[in-house]
């Protein structure tokens, strides 16, 4: 298979973005939230946990602690109990409480709209910061790389990397910047609805002509 040029990849990424826009016009973050603080907390809780499970937990959590000051001043044991079903609950409870405390003491109780300030918060890495910036503030600083995005970006021939940071760097060179936040939503929707890992529906795929099908076993 000939090596694809960067120019060709960039054009294909642009065409993929256009196709995904038509295919998944309702693609969105599937975590439930009402403001940037809620999204920050929900994203921390979503680590190694499904969005569905997080959405079952957060209504009660946010009813009890709707603001950073309330979360920061809560009893740790109560937070742990409320988020226990999301897994790694002690670490997550500590992260959301200490991040909330940082918001109160360093940012006047407001979630900052910059990558530098967000990743300085307890429990917040680049992935979480990208989720918050892209969805709560409509700021495209980077691309969220989760398991769906990593797997499908490789299958689509846009990266050969396995490290999320390196995958993000590859995608930022190819995907149009206005689509960086949407890219993750499109690939998550596509991965769940059309292109699962083991049995992708290549025959019914809306972007089949733009996909080299890397890692897909051909039918005999």
Decide: residue 216, CB within 10 A, 0-12 exposed, 13-18 middle, 19+ buried: middle
Q: How many CA atoms lie within 13 A of 78 on its CB side?
A: 13
- Which of these, 92, 96, 135, lies nearest to 113 by C-alpha position? 135
Tokens found for residue 21: 């826009």
Q: How many CB atoms lie within 10 A of CB 40?
A: 27
Q: Which sequence positions are flagged as catalytic?
A: 127, 146
Beta carbons within 8 Å of 16's beta carbon, 6+ residues apart: 156, 207, 210
| Three-class DSSP category at 164 | helix
Tokens found for residue 153: 């970006």
CA distances from 139 to 72, 175, 180, 181 (A): 27, 15, 9, 8
Four-point Cα dihedral 63, 120, 129, 165, nearest 10:
-140
């Amino acid at each position: 298979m000939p090596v694809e040029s960067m120019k060709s990849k960039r054009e294909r990424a642009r065409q993929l973005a256009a196709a995904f826009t038509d295919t998944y016009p309702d693609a969105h973050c599937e975590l439930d939230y009402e403001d940037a603080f809620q999204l920050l907390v929900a994203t921390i809780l979503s680590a190694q946990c499904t969005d569905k499970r997080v959405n079952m937990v957060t209504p009660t959590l946010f009813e009890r602690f709707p603001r950073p000051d309330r979360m920061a001043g809560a009893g740790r044991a109560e937070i742990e109990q409320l988020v226990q079903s999301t897994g790694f609950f002690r670490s997550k409870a500590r992260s959301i409480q200490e991040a909330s405390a940082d918001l109160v003491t360093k940012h006047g109780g407001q979630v900052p709209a910059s990558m530098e300030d967000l990743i300085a918060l307890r429990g917040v890495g680049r992935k979480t910061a990208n989720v918050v910036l892209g969805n709560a503030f409509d700021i495209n600083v980077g691309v969220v790389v989760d398991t769906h995005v990593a797997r499908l970006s490789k299958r689509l021939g846009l990266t050969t990397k396995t490290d999320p940071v390196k995958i993000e760097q590859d995608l930022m060179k190819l995907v149009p910047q206005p689509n960086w936040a949407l890219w993750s939503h499109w690939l998550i929707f596509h991965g769940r609805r059309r292109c699962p890992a083991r049995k992708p529906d290549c025959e019914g795929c809306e972007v089949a002509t733009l996909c080299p099908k890397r890692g897909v076993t051909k039918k005999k």
